[in-house]
Amino acid sequence: MKSHLKNEPEMKGLMKVSKSDFSVQLNEVLDSFDKDFQEIVDNAAKTVSKESATKLKETSPRNKRTGGSEYADGWKARKNKNGDYVVYNSSQPQLTHLLEFGHVLVSFGKTRGRVAAIPHIAPVERWANKEFELKIRKNTK
């Protein structure tokens, strides 16, 4: 494209747009970018949430007394109605806070001490936050 102005360098890969069409063209470019970026974010969220559920299944405590793994096997990932991906325990959700942070042990109406915390959610959450950011950065370059 040859420039019509004196001393202006030739610009390759650019298109000429009239002032009246500029906002229309700009909105089209931004809409296209927004859709592409939303797809990248959605794919990263889906992948990381599934991997997080898998990691939680591996690292969650198991019942030593009965050998049960109902709590550990209950981790799932899904997309909620707002479009956000959520990782949750479907089998025993009431145990997540008690196991992660510990709790008071009460027996026959008397406090017998505290049950130690078994932090298993926080490390996976930290990993997921870093992994989510890395996947977005990798796919936007």
Q: Which phi and psi angles does 9 have, rounded to 5°?
A: -65, 155
Residue 138 inside a domain? The answer is yes
Residue 56 inside a domain? The answer is no
User: Total structural domains in the chain?
Assistant: 1
Residue 30 inside a domain? The answer is no
Report d(CA 10, CA 107) in Å as an integer.
83
Residue 121 inside a domain? The answer is yes
Residue 4 inside a domain? The answer is no
Range of the domain at 128: 81-141
For the stretch 62-82, pLDDT in tens is 988 877 899 999 999 999 999
List C-alpha distances in Å: 114 to 12, 32, 42, 99: 71, 55, 41, 12
For the chain, give the percent of residues with pLDDT over 90. Answer: 66
Residue 107 inside a domain? The answer is yes
What pLDDT is recorded for position 3?
Answer: 46
What pLDDT is recorded for position 95?
Answer: 94
The model's pTM: 0.75
> Please, what is the average pLDDT of the chain?
87
Burial of 137 (0-12, 13-18, 19+ CB in 10 A): exposed
Residue 123 inside a domain? The answer is yes
Better-predicted residue by pLDDT, 61 or 33:
61
Report d(CA 137, CA 124) in Å as an integer.
20
Residue 108 inside a domain? The answer is yes
For the stretch 95-117, pLDDT in tens is 999 999 999 999 999 999 999 99
Report d(CA 124, CA 130) in Å as an integer.
10
